[in-house]
Amino acid sequence: MSRPLPIIGCLTLLMLLAAGAASADESRGAVVFRTHCASCHGDRGEGTATEYRQALAGDKSVKELSQYIDKSMPKGSPEDCSAPDAAAVAEYIYDAFYSTLAQARIKPARIELSRLTVRQYQESVADLIGSFRWTSQWGDERGLKCTYAKSRKVWDKKDRVLERTDLVVQFDFGEGSPDPQIEPKEFGMRWEGSVFAPETGEYEFLIRTDNAVKLWINDTETPLVDAWVRSGSDTDFRGRIKLLGGRAYPLRIEYLKSREKRANIALMWQPPHQVLDILPARCLSTQSFPETYVVAAPFPPDDRSVGYERGTSVSKEWDEAATSAAIETADYVLKNLRDLAGIKRETTDREAKYREFCGTFAERAFRRSLSDEQRAMYVDRHFADGADPLVAVKRSVLLTLMSPRFLYRDITASDDGYDRAARLSFALWDSIPDQSLLEAAAKNDLKSEGDLRWRADQMLSDLRAQAKLREFLRQWLKLDHLQDIAKDPSKYPEFDAAVVSDLRTSLELFLDDVIWREGGDFRKLLLDESVYLNGRLASFYGADLPADALSPGVDPPFRKMALNPESRAGVLSHPYLLAGFAYTSTSSPIHRGVFLARNVLGRSLRPPPVAVAPLAPELHADMTTRERVLLQTEAEACQTCHNMINPLGFTLEHFDAVGRYRQEEHGKPIDATGTYLTRTGAEVKFAGVRDLATFLAASDETHLAFVEQLFHFTVKQPIRAYGPNVNAELTRKFVEQNYDIRKLLVEISLVAALTPPQPTP
């Protein structure tokens, strides 16, 4: 006779039998989830108010989910869930609501109605005003054209002695003159050309001289620096100006040496995130450019809660900023109306010219031709009943700039040539279409993918497209988060602001080299062994500059050099990033690992459950950084993320807090081994950063993540809204086209241009 089951065992058996009977069609994983998980996570994994508030969604593989559930769930009693049950419930969770496809079923993505982002507004207004001016090309000739004269009359041909191109403006003639034909007592010089702004922000320009000087930047009438009439003994004269990145601006310097004993001049600048230095030749051009309008009104930052900038919400602050910007722009238009409207002194019918200007202004702002009704509303009615023509222009411009037709993209769900032109230009330039693109739309020349591809290839060579791709790479590498890199001066006394500034320049030169001169191969970003160094960096990082680069008293320009070639791997080991993702005196495998997981591999990492301060190195003086990190993150609550973060970050441990290569720490050999569990459940092992870079360069995960991030930055819409297979298809083309980032940008812009927004249900 068999023994009776204990009461608790009977109840448990009855509950399981009842569950099985009531849900005969349920999978084993569904039963386990309903029994053990739903009370904390919700019936559909949506979260609950009392336990887990966040929805069950992410990018862990089924194997990773299974391992985590087997080890940690249910909360407080993981022994209640066997390994087979953990595997079953992991597969159920993944298929039901965790994976990307499951999330697409639960919450279908849509192309959302969006206003212009701050960047798009600034770029669009600049191009809208600029469309009424002449254009120019950056060209290949660097430096500035200079005219040397034997008097202050530089403009007088009979006094000109010499005309040449100067790569930089940095001269000290002492008590002499620039040329034997020029008497040292009095002479003049004038430099003309353009300056290129690498990124958007405030720029400070400085003229250092003992003599009289004026400097014009992006304004041909009012000098930014005016030291023509001097008082006192000052030799530094400064001016600040806001510039949009990826554009060239007119520059002119007029210089006079007369009564002063010495003759000298240096043109310096301080771009955003960098220190004051000589304005380099690579950012100067002998070509002339027209003035660019840069709106000064401050805007609140765009929403980046989903990982990329988007304009899906309108706050009171944004509305007020848009109004201020419209008023500012209208005032600028009136001030420059004769130039913009093409009015000459002999023009008699000025009102007709004003009407024509307002109509063209509205068409370009709205990205399409005006209907009769729209022309009457935005142009004609302001000129009715004998209105003051200038007041009419201002009202028309204000109404145009405040119209949803300008402020919002895809305001309708149509898909004609004008819509495609706008979607293409915003994807590649973050700005409105130019005149040639609008004309193509009017002629119905943007019907096919081939038509659009040809246009996109042409647009890619524009400075605006280059600037947009450059800005994406800055965001991909999180450069904006690395603005205040400072190190312990007792440990790294030579690592000062000038070195940090040089490192940022070095990284940007490397990015430009790979993207625009080396075929745009994404893999080279991860695998290239070279680093751009100047004299200061070469000295700090222990590299030898070639003899022809050295000149007494002059810091050599940046050169592409091998630096620890067998141990460096592109951006992964660039000293700027290594120093940025580190503490003041030690490396930080956690910061570096988070960057690798999120930005390079595209993995989702939730915020830590509790804030934990890093263990102070001095409290564990005998430990290496790796040992301290393992000690700090050994708690079970930490391992959910740190079992991925730590092994990735450890692969960079051969580099210290300033990115210098090292073989040991505290007398112990560096252990730079690491591992990574792929989404397919395979474990990959690394012996250092070169192994890691080789894996990442060939990894489908890396490619998919890069494509998705570039898509989101470019289109500012969720990639899933364009179809469930868009990411995979773009990635396939990316691989087929030898990982060319420029071609990938074109492919993304074509998807955006060819996909109209869905009608609102």
Cβ pair 572, 526 in contact under 8 A: yes
**What is d(CA 341, CA 394) in angstroms, rounded to the nearest whole number?**
13
The predicted pLDDT at position 600 comes to: 97
The predicted pLDDT at position 347 comes to: 78
702-to-574, 600, 692, 694, 695 alpha-carbon distances in Å: 19, 6, 12, 11, 9
Angle at 619 between CA 614 and CA 622, to 5 degrees: 110
Q: 18 falls in which pLDDT band (50, 70, 90)? A: very low
**What is d(CA 117, CA 110) in angstroms, rounded to the nearest whole number?**
18
Per-residue model confidence as pLDDT tens digits over 37-67: 888 888 888 888 877 778 888 777 788 788 8
**What is d(CA 286, CA 283) in angstroms, rounded to the nearest whole number?**
10
Beta bridge partners of 264: 172
Q: 759 falls in which pLDDT band (50, 70, 90)? A: low
pLDDT at 3 over 80: no
The predicted pLDDT at position 633 comes to: 87
Exposure string of 106-133, with b = 16+ CB inside 10 Å and e = fewer, is eeeeebebbbbbbbbbbbbbbbbbbbbe
The predicted pLDDT at position 612 comes to: 67
Q: In angstroms, how far is CA 436 from the centroid of its own chain?
A: 27
pLDDT at 8 over 50: no
The predicted pLDDT at position 548 comes to: 61
Q: In angstroms, how far is CA 260 from the centroid of its own chain?
A: 47
The predicted pLDDT at position 11 comes to: 37
Q: 22 falls in which pLDDT band (50, 70, 90)? A: very low
Q: CATH 2.60.120.1560 in the chain, residues?
A: 144-285
Q: At what angle do helices 449-459 and 741-754 cross, to 10 degrees?
A: 130
What integer is the mean pLDDT of 526-541?
A: 93
DSSP character at residue 453: H
Angle at 518 between CA 516 and CA 521, to 5 degrees: 95
Residues of the chain with pLDDT > 90, as a percent, come to: 70
Q: 555 falls in which pLDDT band (50, 70, 90)? A: low
The predicted pLDDT at position 10 comes to: 42
Q: 761 falls in which pLDDT band (50, 70, 90)? A: low
What integer is the mean pLDDT of 352-374?
A: 97
DSSP character at residue 597: I
Of 290 and 62, more confident: 290
Given 2.60.120.1560, 2.130.10.10, 1.10.1040.10, 3.30.70.640, which CATH number is that of 144-285? 2.60.120.1560
Per-residue model confidence as pLDDT tens digits over 658-679: 999 999 999 999 999 999 999 8
Pairing mode, strands 263-270 and 683-686: unpaired
Cβ pair 185, 211 in contact under 8 A: no
Q: CATH 1.10.760.10 in the chain, residues?
A: 27-106
Three-state DSSP state, 518: coil
In the block, tokens 């034909």 appear at 181
The predicted pLDDT at position 610 comes to: 61
pLDDT at 739 over 80: yes
pLDDT at 1 over 60: no
Per-residue model confidence as pLDDT tens digits over 399-430: 999 999 999 998 877 899 999 999 999 999 99
Per-residue model confidence as pLDDT tens digits over 120-161: 999 999 999 999 999 999 999 999 999 999 888 887 888 888
pLDDT at 509 over 80: yes
Of 523 and 47, more confident: 523
Containing 392, the helix (H) or strand (E) segment is: helix 389-401
CATH topology of domain 27-106: Cytochrome Bc1 Complex; Chain D, domain 2 (1.10.760)
pLDDT at 322 over 50: yes
**What is d(CA 212, CA 214) in angstroms, rounded to the nearest whole number?**
7
Per-residue model confidence as pLDDT tens digits over 693-727: 999 999 999 999 999 999 999 999 999 999 999 99
Least confident piece of the model among 140-154, 285-299, 325-339: 140-154
Per-residue model confidence as pLDDT tens digits over 211-230: 999 999 999 999 999 999 97
The predicted pLDDT at position 616 comes to: 77
Question: ω into residue 78 within 30 of 0, thus cis?
Answer: no
Per-residue model confidence as pLDDT tens digits over 182-203: 999 999 999 999 999 999 999 9
Q: 28 falls in which pLDDT band (50, 70, 90)? A: confident
**What is d(CA 163, CA 146) in angstroms, rounded to the nearest whole number?**
6
Per-residue model confidence as pLDDT tens digits over 457-484: 999 999 999 999 999 999 999 998 887 8
Exposure string of 201-226, with b = 16+ CB inside 10 Å and e = fewer, is eebebbbbbbbbbbbbbbeeeebbbe
Per-residue model confidence as pLDDT tens digits over 625-640: 999 999 988 887 788 7
- State the CB neighbour count (10 A cutoff) for residue 398: 18
In the block, tokens 């000295």 appear at 539
Within 13 Å of residue 320, how many CA atoms lie on the same side as its CB? 5
**What is d(CA 438, CA 419) in angstroms, rounded to the nearest whole number?**
10
Task: Tell me the pLDDT of the chain averaged across its residues.
Answer: 90
Q: What are phi and psi of 389, to 5 degrees?
A: -60, -35
pLDDT at 550 over 70: no
Per-residue model confidence as pLDDT tens digits over 236-247: 999 999 999 999
